[in-house]
Amino acid sequence: MTAPETTKRVLLAAPRGYCAGVDRAVVAVEKALEHYGAPVYVRKEIVHNKYVVETLAARGAIFVHETDEVPEGARVVFSAHGVSPAVHAAAAARSLQTIDATCPLVTKVHKEAVRFAGEDFDILLIGHDGHEEVEGTQGEAPDRIQVVNSPAAVDSVEVRDPERVVWISQTTLSVDETMETVRRLREKFPALQDPPSDDICYATQNRQVAVKKIAPRCDVVITVGSANSSNSVRLVEVALESGARASYRIDVAAELDPAWFEGATTVGVTSGASVPEILVRDVLDALARLGFGEVEEVRTATEDLMFSLPRELRADLKAAGAAPARPRRESRRTLDVTPV
- Residues involved in catalysis: 133
Q: Which residues pair with 13 in a beta bridge?
A: 298
- Measure the CA–CA gap between 209 and 35, rounded to whole angstroms: 39
Spatial neighbors of 195 by CB under 8 A, at least 6 apart, are 109, 112, 166, 167, 168, 169
Question: CA-CA distances (angstroms) from residue 299 to 22, 176, 193, 230?
Answer: 20, 20, 34, 22
Instruction: Kindly tell me the burial class for residue 199, based on how many C-beta atoms sit within 10 Å of its own C-beta (0-12, 13-18, 19 or more).
Output: buried
Q: How far apart are CA 339 and CA 13, in angstroms?
A: 10
CA neighbor of 278 nearest in space, from 11, 10, 9, 16: 16
CA 46/CA 26 separation, integer angstroms: 7
Q: Which residues of 238-276 are buried (b: 16+ CB within 10 A; e: fewer)?
A: bbebbebeebebbbebeebeeebbeebebbbbbbbbbbb
Task: Assess contact for 319 and 313: CB atoms under 8 A.
Answer: no
Q: What is the CA radius of gyration of the chain?
A: 21
Q: List beta partners, residue 248.
A: 222
Whole-number Cα distances in Å, 137 to 42, 104, 272, 295, 333: 19, 13, 22, 40, 33
